[in-house]
Amino acid sequence: MLFVAISMASLGGCATTYTDGTNPITGMAGGYYDLPGPGKLVTVGFGANGYTEAETVRRYVLRRACEVVQEQGKTHFLAFVSLGDAARNNAVGEDLGINQLGGKPFSMIYILPLDEARPGAMAAADVLSRVTVEKKD
């Protein structure tokens, strides 16, 4: 317990890194998650601490979306910011919009993995190459 407390205290002033947020120990500091459904959609999200920039959250949620698509053996995907948008087939591009919860940035999207390109779809490999490039100071 002492180790966990010291580890969490040392993370206090750091931005959230790209990590699995479903892990109960590392997830306390934020991270990505993905859940099946509803239907053929996959829910993908990234939550961060207050030291993380909104742009980083946007890149990380897109990165996880691309990884999920590729893990399913697909090449493209549509992204939706709400289930209503998914029902209306109102896909967004890479500009997802970032929300705030308790002063901490987060983003959650619904993705529809696809076998091939379709109007409004993003190519997972192309997006992944852009969002995994780290910012240079």
Q: To which H or E segment does residue 108 belong?
A: strand 104-114
Give the CB-side neighbour count of residue 121, counting CA atoms within 13 A. 17
Q: pLDDT, tens digit, for every residue of 14-53?
A: 777 877 777 555 555 688 999 999 999 999 999 988 888 9
CA torsion angle 48 96 76 82 (round to 10):
100
Compute the distance between CA of residue 16 and CA of residue 30 in angstroms, rounded to an integer.
Answer: 6
Q: What is the pLDDT of residues 56-93, one digit of tens each?
A: 999 999 999 999 999 999 999 999 999 999 999 999 99
Q: Give the pLDDT band (50/70/90) at residue 55.
A: very high
